[in-house]
Amino acid sequence: MFYAGCDWSDQWLDVAVLDRFGAVVGETRIVYAESPDPVARYREFLAPLGRRWRATVTGIEDVNILFARSLAASGMDVVHVDPTRAARHRVARGIPKTDRADARLIASMTLAGEYRPLVANSPTAEALRVVAHAHRAAVAHRVEALHALRAALMRIWPAAVSAWPNSVGGLRSPQARAVLNAAPTPRAAHRLDRTSLATLLTAAGRKRMVQEEAERLRMIFAHPVMLLDPRVEDAEALRIRHLLAALDHAVRQADDLHQALVQHYTAHPFHLLMAGVPGIGDTLGAYLLAEIGDRPAERFTNGRSLAAYAGVAPVTWASGHTVRVSFRRASSTYLRSTLHTVAFSMVNHSPGAHAYYTMRRSAGDTHATALRKLARKIVLCLYHCMTSGLPYEDAITFGYDPEADGAPSRSRHGPLDEGQIAQARDMLATPGATVTATARAFGVSTQTIYRHVLGRPRTR
């Protein structure tokens, strides 16, 4: 049986093969430009070395490159060697940093068993992982495009930045993008009348209170201040239109990928489990399953191993009388950031999560530390549910009896009680009463009156 180490680069692969006694039996370099099929070239190199060359264990530092994935798909045994541990071995042994030496070092670590077995996900889970990473990148690109547009508007037209509140999407909303595309500068917006604004808002999808919204925007744009030279303003208009086109493309790309993400998420075998966890929607659930996969029992020995991989298990440093507990940085950044968001969301939706978070904050933990400890409990519970097939139970996860007195509860009280709702209905029944006046009388928004008093959501 042979043990091989593969040091990869963007131009070639250096391979070293050891026998079970640690002796080097073969070395080669596979250049991509000279070998159209590196996997076939690698198998041809192994074949003359021995009869059991197909049982060769190949260690590599990055198992996500195409060579490693294709080699594993061909039936060869591929394992993951930690690059950080390999670097420490190199320094401790005084090995020079060369591709050939790195290949020998990885082969020796593979022979010593210092590797992690590669457990491939099913095609369904792998497809979800690809789409989830693409969606993350699209969302990041959308945020970057939005910030670039906001910065450009702050240079010549600060009033446009605050013209659309965050409650309707801010500058990312279709209404804002439609108006800014038609009038990207203060002078151009000043020339728009209420009819033109209403036409733009209707084309952008607004259905209710179009004239009122058009009048509100007209009043904002009616008195432009701090104007620049018209030639400079026209040049800034070209820039803003270019940024708007980039933002439109980023928004469409993120929306299309979100639809594909939901489709792959619903096809995942653990979709129903994630759907039963309070505070986890389609996006967060898809992100979690994309990183955990559909074979957690094979990839991780127990829940604590998954928690360490996710970066929510602390690292203890002890020397003599000094004991220090620190944050684990060697982890999956994707899974760690997703769990932070999941924990924050569950605090607002799960009674047990809210009670646990409150207890940790009362004990002196910071916000981030309390969320990290909450995320660890969530990961341990999800691992148990995935490996046992049991559904998620909030009471079991956080150890409380929902029927007992004083049990955690996250029941939300409406903005208006029953008496106020009846009084608001009586006010609206009087001639000449308006929703705006009624909302002002109770100190709530018009959306609250539409939803809780009239029983219909108000669509914009």
- pLDDT > 80? residue 413: no
In whole angstroms, give the CA distance from residue 196 to residue 201: 9
Residue 64 confidence (pLDDT): 87
- pLDDT > 90? residue 119: no
Lowest model confidence (mean pLDDT) among 269-278, 323-332, 387-396 = 323-332
Query: φ and ψ at 34, to 5 degrees?
Result: -95, -15
Amino acid at 257: L
Entry pTM: 0.82
- pLDDT > 60? residue 282: yes
| C-alpha dihedral, 224 to 228 to 230 to 232, nearest 10° | -140
Of 331, 271, 282, give the one whose Cα is nearest residue 135. Answer: 282
Residue 411 confidence (pLDDT): 60
Q: What percent of the chain has pLDDT over 90?
A: 72
In which band, very low, low, confident or very high, does the pLDDT at 204 lie, cut at 50, 70 and 90?
very high
**Around 9, how many Cα atoms within 13 Å sit in the side-chain half-sphere?**
14
Residue 258 confidence (pLDDT): 97
Residue 451 corresponds to which tokens in the numbers above? 């939803």
Residue 166 confidence (pLDDT): 81
| C-alpha dihedral, 230 to 231 to 233 to 236, nearest 10° | 170
In whole angstroms, give the CA distance from residue 92 to residue 141: 42
- pLDDT > 80? residue 414: no
Lowest model confidence (mean pLDDT) among 2-11, 230-239, 408-417 = 408-417
Mean pLDDT within 330-358? 93
Cβ–Cβ < 8 Å for 32, 17: no
Residue 460 confidence (pLDDT): 45
Amino acid at 281: G
Mean pLDDT within 183-207? 94
Question: Taking all residues of the chain, what is their mean pLDDT, rounded to a whole number?
Answer: 91
Residue 288 confidence (pLDDT): 96
Residue 445 confidence (pLDDT): 82
In whole angstroms, give the CA distance from residue 66 to residue 99: 19
Amino acid at 442: F
Residue 293 confidence (pLDDT): 92
Residue 217 confidence (pLDDT): 94
Number of residues that make up the chain: 460
Q: What percent of the chain has pLDDT over 70?
A: 98
Residue 235 corresponds to which tokens in the numbers above? 């040049």
Which DSSP state fits 404? S
- pLDDT > 90? residue 420: no
In which band, very low, low, confident or very high, does the pLDDT at 278 lie, cut at 50, 70 and 90?
very high
The tens digit of pLDDT for each residue in 122-136 reads 999 999 999 999 999
Cβ–Cβ < 8 Å for 360, 369: yes
Q: Are strands 12-18 and 3-8 parallel, antiparallel or unpaired?
A: antiparallel
The tens digit of pLDDT for each residue in 73-100 reads 898 999 999 998 999 999 999 998 999 9
- pLDDT > 90? residue 412: no
